[in-house]
Amino acid sequence: MYRRLSVAEKQIRVVTVYPGHLGQMIRCGFQTVSLNDEPDYEALSYVWGLEQHRLYIELNLTQTSVTRNLHAALNRLRHPDEPRRLWVDAICINQADNEERGQQVALMGEIYSKTTRGIIFLGEEVKDDENETLEERRQLQNFFAGTGVSGALSPLYQQFQAIRAAAGSDSQEVINMAISMSLSPQLVQGDNIIRPTRPCVWHGDDRDDSLIQQAWDQPSLRSDTIFHAFCLLRRLSNGEHPSLIWYFASENSRPGNWRPSAEIRALKWLGERPWWKRVWTVQECILPKQCVVVYGPVQAPWSMFQHAMSNLHRHRISCCAFVPGISEALSSLSTIMSDIQDVRIWRQHRDGVALSTLMRIFRYRQATDIRDKVYGFLGLVTDWGADGPSSITPNYTKAVTHQQVFTRSTAAIIQSSRSLDILCQPANIDIDYFSLLPSWVIDYSLPVSALGTADRYNYQIPLYQADRCLPASVSVIEENTLAFNAVHIDTLSPVYDAVDAGYSEPPTAVLKQWFDKAGQEKSLPPTWQKDFWRVLCGDTVVGSKATYRRARNDDEPVFNSWWRDQGLGELGGASSQSTNPPAAKSIVPAVKAATTRRKFFVSQKGYMGLAPDTAGRAATVLLGKEEIFVIPGGRIPFLLRPAGVRHVPGIGMQRCHHFVGDCYVQGFMDGESMRNFVKDKQTIYLV
């Protein structure tokens, strides 16, 4: 059925979905076209879903099985009276031919850029009998944790049990399901807010006024929470203040007992569908000229989602910052949309988007084939560095493991960009867990969330120049060892408790502990309090237009007043009389970004700073205390852990290090250590 495609002519297959009605057999046919001829087609963006319980369609007069989710998408999208031309990866690419997969993946950027429209399928609507209760979800969590379950098992649980029995507990598919399940929304037991919804087409303009009016005039629609979720999106996209939208009114308005309305919870539920968590869906919504979002019988323009979340973010950090629950209610969807919009803008208005940036920002996203954690972003890259796009090419043969893809990609990115930016991201869960990767290669297969750290890596770190803008000069030895010159700053003394991710306000108890511990450090100078505030905010504040800038001396009184208003006492510097809300909003985001998943430290020579939360673990420092280095190509200092003397191929026995992560060191963020680089440098071997 699949004939060889011409790589030279950029050939792809387009599937024609023949007319039909819901529930009828889906009939399709192939056509081979060349991208050079600007063919007419729509590109489908969806989640494949589980491979079990596949359903059949007719493809080129042959019965072919597809996943249940794709079947639902084709069933929903076909026209009743005319054919529809789609590009669908699962059936337009011969998935059994790894060579073709690699060739077609290399064209994905062009496929989605040249489509007439992208179709984002969030899934089929939930039926009344498909709502999950909190107890069912807890049983599923217990199942994956191995702690057993009780009571009647839901069909979903039974499905997972069969998959795990067949595939084994280490199956990547089972792991992915467990991760997805743990990230799913927590519905309240008995509060089945997601129900079937009516067919509805939103336009994102004045044509929607009648629908918005119906939300007020027809009480019978009150239980249709999906309809109201889209209505809320439309009103937010209009730029309305959340404080004036009745959906943000609390179901229990007493202070401390705010609970989001059912409509907000429904929108939160839509924003946590699996589509938002997949690697491939990033480029599939960025590259098309226009996109439409489809959920069951509901359609809305992608631009409506964009404008809604952009306006929500703008209001929640300014005029509507103190609307109860505004940060918690839709923060996940707002953050996802913000990341997508950032990449879209960067591609259009700045020097370019590097692969390292995409791999970091969307690291939390999932992929069935782990190698797609790299391959899935190639179509979005506009800044390839010195080596150009040929430095990394998709290869799906079994001879290439995901560990090799991660290692080779990281080395290629460092050498072509002459930058260590790719190392600046949340550390591996545990640097000493058993891994086939060198310590300097991020294990993108692990379910690490960027929760609370995005601003640090997107906006704070670009403001530093610890390396004095010297380019990276790195040698890669047999793929596993990095060799480079660096300047040693100091050795770490004990570190103090980390700030956990996920808080809306900085945890004052931990910050107060840091302050008290610093006061007990004899290595600090008497004036240490004058610098302590800069450490906590990473020497940054949020300035005008919600953009980060470096802190100035006149920011100190504002910070000290905020510190005092938190009940933390006096820092010792000048304070303004009181911290007004706008001023506090310049401090709180910077403190959150700088301290989330960080540990406070005072080095042996008395330098204060913030290290990764993986620093200072007693079981991992038997070979010596962790050391701080500044490396050319690195905007900020890095923390390295002694790894003993090892044989380095072609060089001999050398003292080696493991990579721990990036760190902030007060007084070394603007090139101070690099003034005598030639004299002070030493060779480092990272393994």
Higher confidence at residue 667 or residue 384? 667
Average pLDDT over residues 583-588: 76
pLDDT at 185: 37
pLDDT tens figures, 277-304: 999 999 999 999 999 999 999 999 999 9
Q: Helix and strand tally (H, E) in the chain?
A: 23, 22
Within 10 angstroms of residue 635's Cβ, the number of other Cβ atoms is 20
Please provide the average confidence, as pLDDT, over all residues in the chain.
Answer: 85
CA distances from 10 to 4, 6, 13, 87 (A): 12, 6, 10, 14
514 residue type, one letter: W
Confidence of residue 494 (pLDDT cuts 50, 70, 90): confident
Distance CA 379, CA 374 (A): 10
- The packing angle between helices 172-182 and 134-145, to 10°, is 140
Within 10 angstroms of residue 557's Cβ, the number of other Cβ atoms is 16
Confidence of residue 83 (pLDDT cuts 50, 70, 90): very high
Higher confidence at residue 304 or residue 575? 304
Check pLDDT > 60 for residue 429: no
Distance CA 228, CA 223 (A): 9
Closest CA to 231 of 261, 192, 254, 186: 261
Confidence of residue 648 (pLDDT cuts 50, 70, 90): very high
The tokens for 523 are 């290595």
Check pLDDT > 50 for residue 471: yes
Q: What SS3 string covers 349-384? A: HCCCCEHHHHHHHCCCCECCCCCHHHHCCHHHCCEC
- Residues whose CB falls within 8 Å of the CB of residue 6, separated by 6 or more in sequence, listed in order: 34
Check pLDDT > 50 for residue 5: yes
Confidence of residue 680 (pLDDT cuts 50, 70, 90): very high
Tell me the whole-structure pTM to 2 decimals. 0.83
Distance CA 602, CA 512 (A): 15
Average pLDDT over residues 346-375: 89
| DSSP 8-state class, residue 448 | -
Within 10 angstroms of residue 138's Cβ, the number of other Cβ atoms is 14
- Residues whose CB falls within 8 Å of the CB of residue 399, separated by 6 or more in sequence, listed in order: none
- Residues whose CB falls within 8 Å of the CB of residue 630, separated by 6 or more in sequence, listed in order: 466, 467, 486, 487, 489, 637, 638, 668, 673, 674
| DSSP 8-state class, residue 684 | E
Check pLDDT > 50 for residue 319: yes
pLDDT at 295: 97
The tokens for 361 are 């920002």
pLDDT at 168: 46
Closest CA to 474 of 511, 431, 440: 440
CA distances from 362 to 180, 273, 389, 405 (A): 15, 16, 20, 17
pLDDT at 313: 83
Give the torsion through C-alpha atoms of 316, 264, 296, 111, to 10 deg: 20
Distance CA 646, CA 444 (A): 26
pLDDT at 146: 43
Distance CA 482, CA 478 (A): 9
pLDDT at 284: 98
pLDDT at 128: 56
Q: In what order do the strands lie in the sheet with 55-59?
A: 62-66, 55-59, 27-34, 11-17, 84-87, 42-45, 117-123, 291-295, 298-301, 200-201
Closest CA to 529 of 421, 428, 666: 666
| DSSP 8-state class, residue 240 | -
Confidence of residue 622 (pLDDT cuts 50, 70, 90): low
Within 10 angstroms of residue 16's Cβ, the number of other Cβ atoms is 15
Alpha helices (H) in 218-261, listed in sequence order? 225-237
Q: How many residues does the chain have?
A: 687
Beta bridge partners of 475: 483
Check pLDDT > 70 for residue 563: yes
Distance CA 431, CA 434 (A): 9
Average pLDDT over residues 544-572: 86
Closest CA to 446 of 413, 393, 403, 408: 403
Check pLDDT > 80 for residue 342: yes
Average pLDDT over residues 232-248: 91
The tokens for 458 are 């997107």
Distance CA 380, CA 365 (A): 15
Closest CA to 228 of 210, 247, 252: 247
Q: Are 287 and 116 in contact (CB under 8 A)?
A: no
pLDDT at 183: 35
pLDDT at 566: 85
pLDDT at 499: 75
pLDDT tens figures, 94-152: 999 999 999 999 999 999 999 999 999 999 988 755 544 444 444 444 544 444 444 44
DSSP class per residue in 530-591: HHHHHHHTTTEEE-GGG-EEE--GGGHHHHHHHHHHTT----SS---S---HHHHHHHHHHH
Check pLDDT > 90 for residue 445: no
Distance CA 508, CA 563 (A): 9
Check pLDDT > 50 for residue 369: yes
Q: Are 531 and 667 in contact (CB under 8 A)?
A: yes
pLDDT tens figures, 12-37: 999 999 999 998 999 999 999 999 99
